[in-house]
Amino acid sequence: MALEFCIFRAPGTNCDAETKHALEYFGCRARVVHINKLISGEVKLSSFDGIVIPGGFSYGDHIRSGAILGKMVGERLKDQLKEFSENGKPILGICNGFQVLVEAGLLPAFRGFSDVPEAALGKNLSNRFEDRWIYLRNDNKGKCVFTRGLEILRMPVNHGEGKLILPQGEEEKLYRQLLENDQVVFRYAKADGTLALGEYPANPNGSFRDIAGICDPRGTILGMMPHPEKAFHRITYPDWTRTGLEGVGDGYWIFKNMVDYAMTLI
């Protein structure tokens, strides 16, 4: 039986086609579903094996990135998503999807799903849209189901608001909590795997402690700013003709881990 994944769609979403291709590559069914159909109940999340909230500029990123869609998700779909998560099913938020998960209170989920955001993804320190290829280091010790077996990855970022911000005055306390819970997943790094340590452009947005992705305390919800769906095949890499790289790219492994994990639940 083929797995079926739900890819959220909203006005301004623009990475759903690449995400659909990535999931279908593994023989899964991937259905792009407009947010209105989910809110109305026409489509139920319980019928899916996994969820991806893809990149783009949902609702034009008015107010701030992911805020409108995040509020809609948090108020109208939280019960469904809570049940989905409690059943261990995976949820992946990429770039704008990460912003939506934070705005909806689904990440970092220190004490479970929150009614208010517990963190923020703010404007890049460069004060401009960053569109570049970067390196990531997987610092998760094994909790995150999306990143098992991964070390150093290379993929693109495309965002204007990707700087992870924790509440002022509580940064170090909450950072320690993230570490203790094994919720820190990706950090911006250099090609040799050493951390960017805030250095631009290795850390393209000034994110706190170079954090590029976090998971929930269960490890089944992952939010990340870089785009694995845009690094799924080596031919999408900017230097593929010079390096002669062929086959799958680093983003492939994130989707493969997601699919492999979802298979264990059926």
Residues with catalytic roles:
95, 227, 229
**Cis check: omega of the bond before 201, within 30 degrees of 0:** yes
